[in-house]
């Protein structure tokens, strides 16, 4: 048992069969909505994100190696900026998606949805022999989610690091935890990085299990409240951020998930796998489907990922990629929807009526080169 999971269980979390930490019993269709939503009401929370993992890229050629594989401009990943990125197939479809964190000159962390890091490692390993670089899906690192400015400030204080810059993909890294008990212990890298947000600012904290256990203890002592990845999923929806899971690879162009609006695509960099298709879709306006945020006016059952979004006459217009309950048990979801007939009424397959809701960003190109202003 890693020390972070042990600590979380001491604070009321339960370890379920798939290895996730959750508060209370896992939500299912029979659970009252009040129980499903009990952990979404509090701001300034900490959530263990077992649904994320880390691919480490180490070596002096790491930046040059990734530059030819990813949609992001790697020179921007400088230890102060942690942008999103995609890895694409030659046809421009998303093979994997990550947030890029530079921890040191020769070490990069790719924070990714669980189950996607190993396939990406195997894919990238085909090109690695041409570079001085190693690739490893880390078993030593954990990811925590922090929601609320008070949580972010408390974490920066516990790390003895300057506060995060305000732009939405800012990061800080440190190489020791002030809570280490032995002077003989080697410094351990930890990183704090903002993510796109909706109503409240948020960030991920990445580091070794023991260091994160120490930091979580410090945060709980600073009145940060326990939550879990159910709340984090709701915040992803409110941020208009859809992570590509293992079941969704090779399905979407980056623009279909609005990733150019989230500064995940550099249209100014050189060639990378899939770049020609991605650029053509942008410059010729060939994207006919887009990620949209949808809600319900009344409480409703949670739809399965992949459920159809339909017109009043039952015609399929898109599909659900992620769904969660809000504080009142109403649905909030992200779905990729056809851009034709944008004013047409929408519903789920069971007849639940859906309303289009605003995203927290304009659906237009946002160059990562301009992130720092």
**SS3 per-residue string spanning the chain:** CCHHHHHHHHCCEEECCCCCEEECCCCCCCCCHHHHCCCCCCCCEEEECCCEEEEEEECCCHHHHHHCCECCCHHHCCCCECCEEEEECCCCCEEEEEEEEEEECCEEEEEEECCCHHHHHHHHHCCHHHCCCEEEECCCEEEEEEECHHHHHHHHHHCCCCCCCCCCCEEEEECCCCCCCCCCCCCCCEEEEEECCCCCCEEEEEEEHHHHHHHHHHHHHCCCEECCHHHHHHHHHHHCCCCCCHHHCCCCCHHHHCCCCCCCCCCCCCCCCCHHHHHHHHHCCCCCEEEEEEEEEEECCCCCCCCEEECCCCCEEEEEEEEEECCCCEEEEEEEEECCCCCCCEEECCCCEEEEECCCCCCCCCCHHHCCC
Q: What is the mean pLDDT of the chain?
A: 89
**What's residue 54's pLDDT?**
98
What is the structure's pLDDT at 373? Answer: 62
pLDDT score of 102: 96
286-323: pLDDT as tens digits: 788 999 999 999 999 999 999 999 998 889 999 999 99
Please report, for residues 75, 219, 246, 299, 357, the alpha-carbon distance to residue 306 in angstroms, rounded to integers and kept in the order given: 36, 37, 13, 20, 20
Q: Taking 80 as the threshold, does the pLDDT of residue 176 lie above it?
A: no
pTM above 0.85, yes or no: yes
Task: Look at residue 105 and tell me whether its pLDDT is greater than 70.
Answer: yes
pLDDT at 26 over 80: no
At 110, the pLDDT band (50, 70, 90 cuts) reads very high
Task: Give CA separation, 47 vs 3, 95, 126, 230, 271, in Å.
Answer: 15, 27, 35, 9, 38
Higher pLDDT: 112 or 344? It is 112
Q: Residue 345 — φ and ψ, nearest 5°? A: -65, 150
Mean pLDDT of 16-28: 66
d(CA 115, CA 50): 11
Surface-to-core class of residue 267, CB atoms within 10 Å of its CB (0-12 exposed, 13-18 middle, 19+ buried): middle
Residue-wise pLDDT tens digits, 193-221: 999 999 899 999 999 999 999 999 999 99
How much is the average pLDDT of 141-147? 96
pLDDT confidence of residue 7: 84
Write down the pLDDT at residue 30.
37
**pLDDT for 21:** 79
Q: Would the pLDDT of 27 be above 80?
A: no
At residue 6, does pLDDT exceed 70?
yes
Residue 134: its pLDDT value, please?
96
* For range 3-24, the mean pLDDT: 80
C-alpha 184: how far from its chain's center?
35
Residue 188 φ/ψ region, left for φ over 0, alpha for ψ in the -120 to 50 degree band, beta for the rest: beta
Q: What percent of the chain stands above pLDDT 90?
A: 70
More confident residue, 257 or 28: 257
**pLDDT surpasses 80 at 25:** no
Contact 256, 289 (CB under 8 A): yes
Q: Is the pLDDT of residue 372 over 80?
A: no
In this prediction, residues 86-115 reach a mean pLDDT of 96
What integer pLDDT is reported at residue 40 of this predicted model?
Answer: 47
Residue 133 and residue 61 in contact, taking contact as beta carbons nearer than 8 Å: yes
pLDDT given at position 199: 84
Is the pLDDT confidence value at 55 over 80?
yes
Closest CA to 221 of 46, 32, 24: 46
Residues 11-17: what's their mean pLDDT?
A: 80
Sheet of 141-147: strands edge to edge? 171-174, 190-195, 202-208, 141-147, 45-48, 225-226
Mean pLDDT of 44-72: 95
User: Residue 355 forms beta bridges with which residues?
Assistant: 295
Give pLDDT tens digits for 224-271: 988 888 889 999 999 999 999 999 999 999 999 999 999 999 999 989
Q: How many CB atoms lie within 10 A of CB 113?
A: 19
Confidence category of residue 187, pLDDT binned at 50, 70, 90? low
């Amino acid at each position: 048992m890693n020390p972070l999971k042990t600590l979380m269980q001491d604070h009321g979390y339960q370890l379920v069969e798939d290895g996730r930490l959750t508060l209370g019993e896992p939500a299912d269709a029979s659970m009252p909505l009040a129980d499903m939503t009990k952990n979404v009401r509090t701001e300034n929370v900490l959530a263990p994100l077992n649904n994320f993992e880390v691919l480490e890229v180490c070596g002096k050629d790491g930046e040059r190696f990734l530059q030819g594989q990813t949609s992001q401009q790697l020179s921007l990943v400088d230890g102060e900026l942690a942008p999103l990125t995609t890895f694409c197939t030659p046809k421009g479809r998303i093979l994997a998606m990550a947030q890029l964190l530079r921890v040191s000159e020769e070490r990069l962390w790719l924070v990714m949805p669980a189950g996607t890091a190993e396939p990406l490692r195997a894919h990238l390993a085909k090109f690695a022999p041409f570079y001085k670089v190693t690739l490893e899906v880390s078993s030593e690192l954990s990811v925590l989610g922090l929601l609320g400015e008070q949580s972010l400030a408390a974490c920066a204080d516990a790390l003895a690091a300057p506060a995060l810059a305000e732009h939405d993909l800012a990061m800080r890294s440190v190489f020791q935890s002030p809570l280490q008990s032995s002077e003989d212990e080697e410094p351990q890298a930890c990183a704090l990085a903002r993510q796109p947000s909706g109503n409240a600012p948020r960030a991920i904290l990445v580091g070794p299990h023991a260091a994160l256990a120490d930091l979580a203890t410090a945060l709980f002592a600073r009145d940060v409240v326990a939550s879990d990845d159910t709340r984090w999923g709701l915040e992803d929806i409110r941020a208009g951020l859809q992570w590509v899971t293992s079941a969704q690879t090779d399905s979407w162009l980056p623009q279909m998930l609005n990733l150019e609006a989230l500064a995940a695509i550099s249209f100014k960099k050189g060639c990378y796998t899939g770049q020609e298709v991605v650029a053509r879709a942008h410059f010729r306006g060939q994207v006919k489907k887009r990620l949209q945020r949808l809600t319900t006016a009344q409480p409703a059952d949670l739809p399965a990922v992949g459920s159809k979004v339909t017109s009043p006459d039952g015609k399929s217009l898109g599909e659900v990629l992620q769904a969660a309950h809000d504080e009142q048990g109403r649905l909030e979801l992200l779905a990729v929807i056809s851009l034709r007939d944008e004013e047409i009424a929408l519903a789920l397959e069971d007849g639940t009526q859906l309303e289009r809701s605003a995203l927290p960003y304009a659906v237009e190109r946002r160059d990562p080169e301009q992130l720092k202003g």
